[in-house]
Amino acid sequence: MHVCVLGAGIVGLATAYSLRRAGHEVTVLDRASPGSGASGGNGAQLSYSYVQPLADPGIWLQLPKLLLSPTSPLKLRPRLDPRQWLWGAQFLAACKGSTSRRTTARLLELAALSRQTFNAMMEEEQLDCDFSTTGKLVLYPDRPSFAAAHRQMLLQRDLGSRQEAVDADRCVEIEPALASRHRHIAGAIHTPSECAADCLKTCRALLAVLRRQGVRFLLGSPIEHLVLRGGSVVAAATPQGPVEADQYVMALGAHSPRLARALGVHLPIYPLKGYSITVEVGDEPRAAPSVSVTDSARKVVFSRIGSRLRVAGMAELSGYDSAVCPAQIASLKATTQTLFPQCGALGSLSPWAGMRPATPTGLPIIGTHAKGPRNLLFNTGHGALGFTLAFGSAQRISRMLDS
């Protein structure tokens, strides 16, 4: 059948790839170039084994500090927007142990499928995207936070995840660039199988692959609305004319709710604004990490992509303001200098901000909606795990259309 994919971020492109592999005719629509939204400057980590949702019972004890501290990685900027307040209330309601455990199990299952599908794609297409398999360290600054992480690791072990708890000495052995932080590390969770890649380069390489495979792209053309007839979508209206198809897949990230509302569908998605900087580090082995590193206290991730270091973090619940805040960029720079004082070229940072499409529970929305058109599937709401989960959710969409 002919399937129209709405959105050319990593989720939309992965969906187009899976559908084309299944033999469908595919058209991809987007108002911008592939990967120019939340995919473009993300954390670059493929965290298949580290998918614990932000909605966790531990958030309650951290909430005053997270919301009130000027250096907090989580910021709430209240707006006269009932959707923001509704999302916040649903998020807090999801901060329960039972909900977090169920969500973790489902995300691990989806991540395992995504790893399998992404690896098969890479073996087939050999994309140039600075892919690496150097593993990941999540650092904890004190015994209580490390103990909580150890409990989560045991939960995930029961669900099939392979990780190990390590002390500060072992951390430095795994990643020598952390030597100067030795006494500040209470412990870490090490996942040897974790990967990293440049998501924007992945998107651009997939664009070339898909075009060779006959996928049609209509880029630089916003989707004005979806035309309904008899409970089905019959066309996507664009300035260049209607695009007709048999099936439609909405993969518009944080912009999905706007288009869905016009159809009478409420999607519990709100943007969590994140920031990143990209630093040229060259080949000096101890100046910057080769292993992916997450600073759990500051909620900042470090990923080596070729000769560059991607530093990403922050979560602002501030609506759809996409402006890059200098204070947040300065914070990422300061964190980089603290953890990796020998990391050079911090004068040129390539600052970026993007809108992560987050659901309150952390689970993406995959499939049809009870109130939506019967030939419209959703593949959206992946939050900060879009790159990690993209190929798994794409595979599920493909299976749904083939069932």
Q: Picking from 63-72, 270-279, 330-339, 388-397, which range would have the lowest pLDDT averaged per residue?
A: 63-72
pLDDT tier at 142 (50, 70, 90 boundaries)? very high
The percentage of the chain sitting over the pLDDT mark of 70, rounded to a whole number, equals 98
- In the predicted model, what is the mean pLDDT of the chain? 93
Q: For residues 338 and 329, give the distance between their C-alpha atoms in angstroms, rounded to a whole number.
A: 14
Length reported for the chain: 403
Amino acid identity for residue 311 in this structure: V
Mean pLDDT of 35-57: 92
Residue 338 CB coordination number (10 Å): 14
**pTM for this entry:** 0.95
Partnered with residue 378 across adjacent β-strands are 250, 367
CA distances to 63, 147, 193, 376, 389 from 73, in Å = 11, 21, 27, 36, 23
Sign, Cα dihedral of 199, 202, 203, 204: positive
Q: For residues 179 and 193, give the distance between their C-alpha atoms in angstroms, rounded to a whole number.
A: 22
Any idea which residue has 């593993």 for tokens? 135
* Residue 129 · residue 202 · CB < 8 Å: yes
Name the more confident of 228 and 74.
Answer: 228
**How many angstroms separate the first and last alpha carbons of the chain?**
13
Q: Which secondary-structure segment (H or E) carries 366?
A: strand 365-367
pLDDT recorded at residue 66? 67
Structure-token pair, residue 61 = 């004890």
Per-position DSSP letters for 178-216, written without gaps between them: GGGGGGG--EEEEETT-EE--HHHHHHHHHHHHHHTT-E
pLDDT 10s digits, 62-100: 777 766 777 677 777 778 889 999 999 999 999 999 999
pLDDT exceeds 70 at position 6:
yes
* Residue 333 · residue 346 · CB < 8 Å: yes
pLDDT 10s digits, 188-205: 999 999 999 999 999 999
Any idea which residue has 């997939």 for tokens? 206
Any idea which residue has 């006269």 for tokens? 80
Amino acid identity for residue 96 in this structure: K
* Residue 380 · residue 256 · CB < 8 Å: yes
pLDDT tier at 345 (50, 70, 90 boundaries)? low
